[in-house]
Amino acid sequence: MDSLARLGLLSKKRNVSLLPTLCLLLVAVCTAKAELPPSAYEGMQSKAPEHLQIHVLRIDIQPAQPESTQDILLIVAVEKVFRTASDLKPGDVLNIVYSLEARPPGWLGPGQVPILRQGDKRIAYLRSLEMPETYAPDAGVMSFGNF
């Protein structure tokens, strides 16, 4: 505290009132995380309208605008239905679309939805889009997996 006062950051009279603010600021900086807590993803998964087991048949990755973005198209077959709001059935073929942005080193924030590979069999948490048989990931980075 005395060193902060010598630097002019604190006066002896204001030490008591600024100390809690400095402590909160220090805690906030030290606990900043790049990822959301597991409970956030679990909440998104439980609210996703579609909970499926999928098999990836084809993947299409295209550059998009802005230049640092990629548009992803997955063509998948539904293997098992755990929950559905759009009356999906095993054997249905769906399009899953989403975009990925290139992020600079040191970027903080939630992770991106992963790019799956042809032949992958995964759990999927999705939401229906306005186009027929087209869906989007609905649980962020955990859209294609469980904890």
pLDDT tens, residue by residue, 62-114 = 988 877 899 999 999 999 999 999 999 999 999 999 999 888 888 788 888 99
The candidate with the shortest Cα–Cα distance to 144, out of 90, 64, 72, is: 72
Structure tokens at 140: 């962020």
Extents of the domains making up the chain: 2-31, 38-142
Whose tokens are 């008591």? That residue is 16
Report the share of the chain in percent with pLDDT over 70: 76
The candidate with the shortest Cα–Cα distance to 74, out of 103, 116, 11, is: 116
CATH architecture of 38-142: Beta Barrel (2.40)
Taking the model in full, what pTM does it have? 0.73
